[in-house]
């Protein structure tokens, strides 16, 4: 490691500790000696100048906080001496120029995907079961049990084998042999299941919002067809769902089988009908095979969760470079998590290709923050205890690092929750910062692959799209190898550049999109789905 501190931008007045530092240490940094005033764990921030109470704190070249009390040069920034502060945002003031990365080595690359009749290309081939209302969750679970067991999509887990050994009286220290997987009946199709707690009991707007999300899942290129269960009397009526589906794709050619329990009669009769008809659809979908597709057909969700003080200087900017590569190739990166864009709004406004999008972005941000304040909170409450423990002590600090996932490319579209990506280039999607709610939303907006950076470790996955995990540090990658796909720790150690790591990420995305490598979240069977409920229960 070449240095014990790193400063992200020349105008920053704080640096990130790359290793644990101790009171009394003297660190040579940029031609000066920095006397460390407090024990400072790696990932935390150290002042590079004397800061008086009220002084602004800059990192990533933007305002990320204000000093609550004096902080001497070499002093540790904490939640006790720093408060959240972010720059105000105004109308679009300039058009940011963009130097696109060299894509010579990528422009003729392809991935092996599943081609749909509307021109979209999937990275997976999924038959999806889901309910329009939570009342049908039990029936979805019954169908899941039947299809997964009989089609042999899953093998017995090590945990199940452990319980078998305990029941049989086998000693606890006996090696747990993983049960052998039965051969899957179908080679080219997966069957996945979604349950949720929505569809009724809330405001009508939530039902409409959920209909758009579910329609987006059906329209996602990773889905070959769907089986949809309705009770009949719920807020999210079948016609509302059909309308949302038509708005997403007026000429949808995929089979969508819809069943309404209050019209079908007994559960036994309905489930028998569903199983017979869905099985025929699954058999037909199994005939679809992977074919070459240009990288422009990739829609890549950009997500972070369990972030730490290294996320913004390793994993996030590396993913940002991969995002820039994909944008230059005509693909569609998707940046979401609006509460984690607080403080960098002006930069994003200036990157919008047109004034209307800039105005829409500002309005969505203002409306979102107002709703948080009206609920007695605010964006400043966004950092989690884990974030704070590992160096992200203000929302603006967290946001400035999180926004690096979006790279530097022009923003082609601003979308509200539930809207679908149709434009190549970087798209901004309004979602919460919550990991699963955000990932759920991006896939509902068309993402056929998601890249998820993490500093602390998170197992989040998705039912229909692979979710790849990029560790911000090698310690995490070694500690949780079962959930981490890519280690960006070499950036922290100075062994790889941001650009080299970004190219490595894109290369891995191509392999996963082609079915050559399985995302760790899929290996674990991590199928998370949480819709964003914006209203109240009634």
pLDDT digits (tens, 9 = 90+) for 490-510: 999 999 999 999 999 999 999
The dihedral over CA atoms of 265, 271, 274, 279, expressed in degrees to the nearest 10, equals -160
Query: DSSP code of 403?
Result: G
Element (H, E) at 193: strand 190-193
- Going from the C-alpha of 165 to that of each of 161, 175, 181, the distances in angstroms are 6, 10, 18
Residue 375 confidence (pLDDT) above 90: no
**Letter string b/e over residues 515-535, b meaning 16 or more CB atoms within 10 A of that residue's CB:** bebebbbbeeebbbbbbbbee
Closest CA to 77 of 48, 106, 46, 55: 46
Closest CA to 119 of 313, 12, 11, 249: 249
- Confidence class of residue 179 from pLDDT cuts 50, 70 and 90? very low
Average pLDDT over residues 84-111: 85
- Distant-in-sequence, close-in-space partners of 403: CB < 8 Å, separation ≥ 6: 316, 335, 340, 341, 344, 347, 348
CB 322 within 8 A of CB 503: yes
Residue 171 confidence (pLDDT): 72
Percent of residues, the chain, with pLDDT higher than 90: 79
Per the model's pLDDT, the better-predicted residue between 221 and 31 turns out to be: 221
pLDDT digits (tens, 9 = 90+) for 1-58: 568 999 999 999 999 999 999 999 999 998 899 999 999 999 999 999 999 999 999 9
This prediction has a pTM of 0.91
In whole angstroms, give the CA distance from residue 463 to residue 202.
25
CB 467 within 8 A of CB 461: yes
pLDDT digits (tens, 9 = 90+) for 268-277: 999 999 999 9
Average pLDDT over residues 286-291: 97
- Confidence class of residue 222 from pLDDT cuts 50, 70 and 90? very high
């Amino acid at each position: 490691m070449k240095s014990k501190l790193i400063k992200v931008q020349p105008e920053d007045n704080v640096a990130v500790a790359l290793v644990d530092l101790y009171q009394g240490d003297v660190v040579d940094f940029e031609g000066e000696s920095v006397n460390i005033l407090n024990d400072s764990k790696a990932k935390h921030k150290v002042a590079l100048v004397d800061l008086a109470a009220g002084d602004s704190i800059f990192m990533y070249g933007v305002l990320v906080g204000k000093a609550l009390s004096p902080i001497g040069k070499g002093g540790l920034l904490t939640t006790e001496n720093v408060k959240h502060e972010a720059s105000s945002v105004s109308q679009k003031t300039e058009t940011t120029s963009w130097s696109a990365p060299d894509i010579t080595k990528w422009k003729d690359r392809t991935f092996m995907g599943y081609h749909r009749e509307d021109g979209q290309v999937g990275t997976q081939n999924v038959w999806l079961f889901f309910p329009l209302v939570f009342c049908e969750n039990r029936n979805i679970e019954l169908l899941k049990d039947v299809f997964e067991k009989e089609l042999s999509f899953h093998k017995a887990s090590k945990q199940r084998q452990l319980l078998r050994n305990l029941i049989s009286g086998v000693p606890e220290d006996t090696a747990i042999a993983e049960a052998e997987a039965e051969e899957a009946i179908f080679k080219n199709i997966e069957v996945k299941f979604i349950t949720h707690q929505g569809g009724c009991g809330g405001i009508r707007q939530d039902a409409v919002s959920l209909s758009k999300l579910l329609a987006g899942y059906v329209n996602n290129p990773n889905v070959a067809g769907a089986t949809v269960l309705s009770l009949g009397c719920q807020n999210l009526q079948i016609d509302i769902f059909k309308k949302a589906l038509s708005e997403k794709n007026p000429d949808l050619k995929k089979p969508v089988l819809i069943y309404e329990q209050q019209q079908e009669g007994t559960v036994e009769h309905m489930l028998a009908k569903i199983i017979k008809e869905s099985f025929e659809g699954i058999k037909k979908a199994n005939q679809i095979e992977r074919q070459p597709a240009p990288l422009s057909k990739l829609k890549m969700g950009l997500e972070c969760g369990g972030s730490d003080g290294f996320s913004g200087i390793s994993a996030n900017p590396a993913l940002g470079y991969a995002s820039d590569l994909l944008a230059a190739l005509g693909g569609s990166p998707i940046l979401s998590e609006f509460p984690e864009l607080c403080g960098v709004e002006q930069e994003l406004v200036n990157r919008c290709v047109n004034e209307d999008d800039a105005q829409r972005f500002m309005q969505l941000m203002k409306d979102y923050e107002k709703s948080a304040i009206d609920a007695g909170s605010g964006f400043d409450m966004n950092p989690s205890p884990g974030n704070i423990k590992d160096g992200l002590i203000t929302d603006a600090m967290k946001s400035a690092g999180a926004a690096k996932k979006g790279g530097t490319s022009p923003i082609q579209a601003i979308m509200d929750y539930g809207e679908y990506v149709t434009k190549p280039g970087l798209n901004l999607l309004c979602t919460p910062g919550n990991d699963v709610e955000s990932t759920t939303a991006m896939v509902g907006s068309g993402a056929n692959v998601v890249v998820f950076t993490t500093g602390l470790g998170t197992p989040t996955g998705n039912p229909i799209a692979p979710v790849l995990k990029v560790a911000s540090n090698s310690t995490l990658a070694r500690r949780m190898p079962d959930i981490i796909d890519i280690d960006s720790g070499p950036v922290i150690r100075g062994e790889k550049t941001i650009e080299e790591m970004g190219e490595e990420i894109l290369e891995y995305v191509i392999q996963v999109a082609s079915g050559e490598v399985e995302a760790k979240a899929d290996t674990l069977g991590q199928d998370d789905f949480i819709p964003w409920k914006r209203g109240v229960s009634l």
